[in-house]
Amino acid sequence: MITAFILMNVRRDAINETAQKLQGINGISEVYSVSGRYDLIAIARVPSSDDLAALVTSRMPILDAILATETMLAFKSYSRHDLEAMFSVGME
Amino acid sequence: MITAFILMNVRRDAINETAQKLQGINGISEVYSVSGRYDLIAIARVPSSDDLAALVTSRMPILDAILATETMLAFKSYSRHDLEAMFSVGME
Amino acid sequence: MITAFILMNVRRDAINETAQKLQGINGISEVYSVSGRYDLIAIARVPSSDDLAALVTSRMPILDAILATETMLAFKSYSRHDLEAMFSVGME
Amino acid sequence: MITAFILMNVRRDAINETAQKLQGINGISEVYSVSGRYDLIAIARVPSSDDLAALVTSRMPILDAILATETMLAFKSYSRHDLEAMFSVGME
Amino acid sequence: MITAFILMNVRRDAINETAQKLQGINGISEVYSVSGRYDLIAIARVPSSDDLAALVTSRMPILDAILATETMLAFKSYSRHDLEAMFSVGME
Amino acid sequence: MITAFILMNVRRDAINETAQKLQGINGISEVYSVSGRYDLIAIARVPSSDDLAALVTSRMPILDAILATETMLAFKSYSRHDLEAMFSVGME
Amino acid sequence: MITAFILMNVRRDAINETAQKLQGINGISEVYSVSGRYDLIAIARVPSSDDLAALVTSRMPILDAILATETMLAFKSYSRHDLEAMFSVGME
Amino acid sequence: MITAFILMNVRRDAINETAQKLQGINGISEVYSVSGRYDLIAIARVPSSDDLAALVTSRMPILDAILATETMLAFKSYSRHDLEAMFSVGME
Amino acid sequence: MITAFILMNVRRDAINETAQKLQGINGISEVYSVSGRYDLIAIARVPSSDDLAALVTSRMPILDAILATETMLAFKSYSRHDLEAMFSVGME
Amino acid sequence: MITAFILMNVRRDAINETAQKLQGINGISEVYSVSGRYDLIAIARVPSSDDLAALVTSRMPILDAILATETMLAFKSYSRHDLEAMFSVGME
Nearest residue in A to H75, CA atom: A53
Helices (H), ranges, B6-67 = 15-23, 49-54
Among partner residues B19, B80, B86, which is closest to A78 by beta-carbon distance?
B19
How high is the mean pLDDT of chain B?
Answer: 91
Nearest CA in chain F to C38: F36
What residues of D are in contact with residue E53 (Cβ under 8 Å)?
Answer: 75-76
What is the torsional sign of CA D72, D78, D83, D85? positive
* CA-based nearest distance C50→chain B, Å: 7
| CA angle in degrees (0–180, nearest 5) for B13-B15-B20 | 130
CB contact under 8 A, H31 and G83: no
Is A27's pLDDT higher than 80? Answer: yes
> CB I62 to CB E13 under 8 A?
yes
Chain E residues with CB-CB distance to I64 below 8 A: 13
B55 burial (CB, 10 Å; 0-12 / 13-18 / 19+) is buried
Cβ(I10)–Cβ(I40) below 8 Å: yes
Beta strands I2-10 and H40-46, pairing class: unpaired
At C91 the pLDDT is 61
What's the gap between Cα J3 and its chain centre? 9
E9 neighbors I67 (Cβ within 8 angstroms): no
J49 contact G CB<8A = yes
Is the pLDDT reported for residue E91 higher than 80? no
Amino acid at D53: A
* Fold of the CATH domain B2-76: Alpha-Beta Plaits (3.30.70)
What values do phi and psi take at G66, rounded to 5? -80, 115
> What is residue A79's three-state secondary structure?
coil
Q: Nearest to residue H81, comparing CAs of G70, G76, G45? A: G45
Q: How far is it, in rounded angstroms, from Cα J53 to Cα H15?
A: 11
pLDDT digit of tens for each residue in chain B (92 aa)? 899 999 999 999 999 999 999 999 999 999 999 999 999 999 999 998 889 999 998 899 899 999 999 999 999 999 988 888 888 765 64
H-helix segments, G28-82: 49-54
* Spatial separation of the C-alpha atoms in residues B86 and B89, rounded to whole Å: 7
Over chain F, what is the mean pLDDT?
91
End-to-end C-alpha distance for chain H, whole angstroms? 11
* Best I2, I46, I70, I73 residue to mutate vs chain F (most F CBs within 10 Å): I73
| Predicted local distance difference test score (pLDDT) of residue J48 | 87
Chains A and F touch (3+ CB pairs under 8 A): no
The reported pLDDT for the residue numbered G82 is 83
What is the percentage of chain I residues whose pLDDT exceeds 90? Answer: 73
B37 phi, psi to nearest 5 deg: -75, -20
Positions in chain H whose pLDDT score sits under 50:
92
Smallest CA–CA distance, residue E36 to chain J, in Å, is 5
D38 close to D71: Cβ distance less than 8 angstroms: no
Query: Which of D18, H73, D12 is closest to B70 using CA atoms?
Result: D12
pLDDT of the residue at A5: 98
Q: For residues C4 and J36, what is the distance between their CA atoms, to the nearest angstrom? A: 36
Q: What was the pLDDT predicted at B80? A: 86
C27-41, C49-63, G9-23, J26-40: which has the minimum mean pLDDT? C49-63
> Cβ–Cβ of J37/E36 closer than 8 Å?
yes
Non-local (6+) Cβ contacts of B43 within 8 A are B3, B4, B5, B6, B28, B29, B30, B31
Q: What pLDDT score was predicted for residue D80?
A: 86
Instruction: List all chains that touch chain B, counting a touch as 3 or more CB pairs closer than 8 Å.
Output: A, C, D, G, H
Residue C87's pLDDT is 81
Q: Which amino acid is at J24?
A: G
Query: To 5 degrees, how large is the angle CA J22–CA J23–CA J28?
Result: 90
Proportion of chain F above pLDDT 70, given as a percent: 96
Q: Are G67 and G13 in contact (CB under 8 A)?
A: no
Res D16 pLDDT > 60: yes
Burial of G82 (0-12, 13-18, 19+ CB in 10 A): exposed
pLDDT score of I66 more than 60? yes
Distance, CA of B63 to CA of B72 (rounded, Å)? 19
Cβ-based burial of I24 (10 A; exposed 0-12, middle 13-18, buried ≥19):
exposed
% of chain C beyond a pLDDT of 70 = 96
Single-letter residue type at C56 = V
Interchain contact B36–H (C-beta under 8 A): yes
Cα–Cα distance for residue pair A74/F51, rounded to 1 Å:
55
Regions in chain J scoring below 50 on pLDDT: 92
Can you name the residues that pair with A64 across neighbouring β-strands?
none
Q: Does any CB of chain G come closer than 8 Å to the CB of residue J1?
A: no
pLDDT at J91: 61
Using a CB–CB cutoff of 8 Å, tell me whether E36 touches chain I. Answer: yes
Look at B75 and A19 and tell me if their CB atoms are within 8 Å: no
* Contact between residue F10 and residue F40 where contact means Cβ atoms under 8 Å apart: yes
| CATH match of J11-67 with 3.30.70.920 | yes
Which pLDDT value is given to residue J90? 57
- Report CB contact under 8 Å: C70, A13: no
Give the separation between CA D31 and CA F72, rounded to whole angstroms.
35
The strand pairing partners of E44, in sequence order, are E4, E28
CA angle D44, D91, D47 (to 5 degrees): 60
CB of D12 within 8 Å of a chain B CB? The answer is: yes
What share of residues in chain E are helix, strand, coil (percent, to 5)? 35, 40, 25
Distance from CA of I44 to the nearest CA of G (A): 22
Cα distance between residue I52 and residue I1, in whole Å: 11
Instruction: Name residues whose C-beta falls within 8 Å of residue J92's C-beta, 6 or more positions apart in sequence.
Output: J26, J47
Among candidates I50, I57, I75 on the partner chain, residue whose Cβ is nearest the Cβ of F49: I75
Say whether pLDDT at A6 is over 90: yes
Model confidence pLDDT, tens digit, residues E2-50: 999 999 999 999 999 999 999 999 999 999 999 999 999 999 999 988 8
- pLDDT-derived band at I87, boundaries 50, 70, 90: confident
CATH architecture for segment(s) G2-75 = 2-Layer Sandwich (3.30)
- Which residue, among J7, J43, J52, J57, would best test binding to H if mutated, counting the most H CBs under 10 Å from its CB? J57
Name chain F contacts of D62, Cβ cutoff 8 Å: 13
Over residues I78-89, the mean pLDDT reads: 82
Which letter, b or e, does each residue of I37-57 get, where b requires 16 or more Cβ atoms within 10 Å of its Cβ?
A: ebbbbbbbbbeebebbbbbbb
The C-alpha of C29 sits at a distance from chain B's nearest C-alpha, in angstroms, of 19
D71 Cβ under 8 Å from any chain C Cβ? yes
Give the pairing of strands G28-34 and G2-10: unpaired
In CATH terms, is domain C2-77 a member of 3.30.70.920?
Answer: yes
DSSP run (H or E) holding E29: strand E28-34
Bridge partners of J7, per DSSP, are J41, J70
At H80 the pLDDT is 86
Burial of E82 per CB tally in 10 Å (0-12, 13-18, 19+): exposed
Least confident interval from I31-35, I46-50, J69-73: I46-50
CA dihedral I14, I19, I20, I26 (to 10 degrees): 130
ipTM of the complex: 0.89
Q: How confident is the model at residue F27 (pLDDT cuts 50, 70, 90)?
A: very high
Residue D82: predicted pLDDT: 84
- Any CB–CB contact under 8 A between A53 and chain H? yes
Instruction: Summarize pLDDT for F49-58 with one digit per residue, the tens.
Output: 889 999 998 8
pLDDT band at F90 (very low <50, low <70, confident <90, very high): low
Q: How would you class C25 by CB atoms within 10 Å of its CB: exposed for 0-12, middle for 13-18, buried for 19 or more? A: middle
Q: How far is Cα C47 from Cα C88, in angstroms, rounded to an integer?
A: 8
Among C85-89, E76-80, J79-83, which is the least confidently predicted range?
Answer: C85-89
For CA atoms F43, F47, F51, F52, give the dihedral sign. positive
Residues F22 and F26: their CA atoms lie apart, in Å, by: 9
Average pLDDT, chain A: 91
Sequence-distant (≥ 6) Cβ neighbours of residue E24 within 8 angstroms: none
- Across the interface, do D2 and E53 touch by the CB < 8 Å criterion? no
How far is E14 from E1, CA to CA, in rounded Å? 30
pLDDT at site G1: 86
Strand partners, C74: D34
> Region D28-48: what's the mean pLDDT?
95
